Amino acid sequence: MTRALRGVAVCLLPVLVGLYVAATTFGGGRFVPWRPVMVDLDVYRRAGLVLLQGGDFYTLPGSLQFLYPPFAAVLAVPLALLPTALVQIGWTVAGVLALLAVLHRFGLHGWVLSLVGTACVWFVEPVTQTLAFGQLGIFLVALVVLDLVPGPRVAARRLLPEGALTALAAAVKLTPAIFVVQLLVVRRTRAFVTAVVTGLVVTLASAVVAPRASLGFWGRLAHGDTGLGGSIIYYTNQSVMADVVRVLGLGGGAAALGLALSALVAALGVWAGWRWYRRDVALAVTLCGVASLLASPVSWLHHFVWVVPLALCLIQHSRGRDAADRPLAPLPGWFTALGWIFVGWVVASPFRRLPNGADVELQWSAGQHALASTTAVLGVALLAGAVVVAGRTVPPDPAGTPAGVSAAARPGS
């Protein structure tokens, strides 16, 4: 009981601040009486309701559409059955707890965990917007971190095999699939197979529940139709693809170039993760997370929750210790500075002051395009720098065990 009360005390402040942020960040929302404006959570609930009614949840009424794989709609069914306020409050509380779980995995606990979690909720714009929109980005980051990053656990042992949570994240939204590729590249064969099998099982099960919608979704995706249309140019889309299309226009040539560059960035992220895996698993996974943001055709500002693990990795390397108190090699000053500049840029997000809406982004000046592209430029520089730095960093264990991973967890053990 004492441990449970201590846990409640740690979570209380960030949860209360999270509820306030979720309700008041956007105009028209109120904390008391409870009246938030969670537009994305509303889309999830409507998709779940349409699925229950046997309709097509990819043609919802209104301007905001459901764009996730069918498995996400299946998971949204319970959200449609519960009262609105209960879902909004529960979703927000769960999001804050997921964020705290990520921080705990990086070794934070007690009052430090509580204060850092509160600061993230209040100051880190992607986290704030995720809670306010009722988005799922925090959950996706938490699933991957809790699955792949070694560190302190709340439970005595792993509840699911490595790779399973990552597969669930990729089944809900496609971008975390980059971590499945990372598992293959770093030769975590068992985890890779687990992820592939888990992903196939839940995807096929979703096809049984919603066969027509599943066929339509995967068929459109195979033909390159993401369902986003011209909204890809919107100013808070900070992906490489968005930068290319905003500069060159919405033609097929620009889209092809954007996709090619996105593929290169994804490969760079996997390469950086591979280079760092034997040195620091947490940083390897985080670099892949940053790459997933830049390489995805659409990465709104609220998707950039990966700056939180990135900041924690930078702090750990500055301390010279990981979450398991194992030694970490110090990072070069220039790379540490680059990492903090990227984190600070995303948190401050100066590009939010650019003129936007009604396709005005296509008429930006060269300076405005440069400002909007800074996120991608800094991110790609960070990934390239990580590749260079890894070659000059000696793994902390001569046996080759990644920092924070026990010998029992080595590939092939």
Go through 255-271 and write b for each residue having 16 or more CB atoms within 10 A of its CB, e for each that does not. Answer: bebbbebbeebbebbbb
d(CA 305, CA 346): 9
Per the DSSP assignment, residues forming a β-bridge with 327 are: 321
pLDDT digits (tens, 9 = 90+) for 334-355: 999 999 999 999 999 999 999 9
Per the DSSP assignment, residues forming a β-bridge with 30 are: 35
pLDDT digits (tens, 9 = 90+) for 4-48: 888 899 999 999 999 999 999 987 889 999 999 999 999 999 999
In a domain, 49, yes or no: no
In a domain, 265, yes or no: yes
In a domain, 9, yes or no: no
pLDDT digits (tens, 9 = 90+) for 127-185: 999 999 999 999 999 999 999 999 888 776 788 999 999 999 999 999 999 999 999 99
Q: What is the number of domains present in the chain?
A: 1
Which value, to the nearest 10 degrees, does the dihedral of the CA atoms of residues 358, 25, 36, 70 take? 60
| 250: confidence class by pLDDT, cuts 50, 70, 90 | confident
| 397: confidence class by pLDDT, cuts 50, 70, 90 | low
In a domain, 284, yes or no: yes
In a domain, 191, yes or no: no
In a domain, 16, yes or no: no
In a domain, 20, yes or no: no
Tokens of 280: 């620091």
Q: Which of 48, 281, 241 is nearest to 149 (CA)?
A: 281
Burial class of 88 by CB neighbour count within 10 A (0 to 12, 13 to 18, 19+): buried
Tokens of 151: 């560190």
CA dihedral sign of residues 151, 154, 156, 160: negative
Is residue 407 over pLDDT 50? Answer: no
In a domain, 66, yes or no: no
pTM (2 decimals)? 0.92
Range of the domain at 377: 226-406
* Number of DSSP helices (H) and strands (E) in the chain, helices first: 18, 0
Percent of the chain's residues with pLDDT above 90: 80
Is residue 90 over pLDDT 80? Answer: yes
The set of residues, in sequence order, having a beta carbon less than 8 Å from that of 395 and lying 6+ positions away, is 278, 279, 401, 402, 403
> What per-residue confidence (pLDDT) applies to 230?
67
3-state DSSP assignment of residue 242: helix
d(CA 162, CA 183): 10
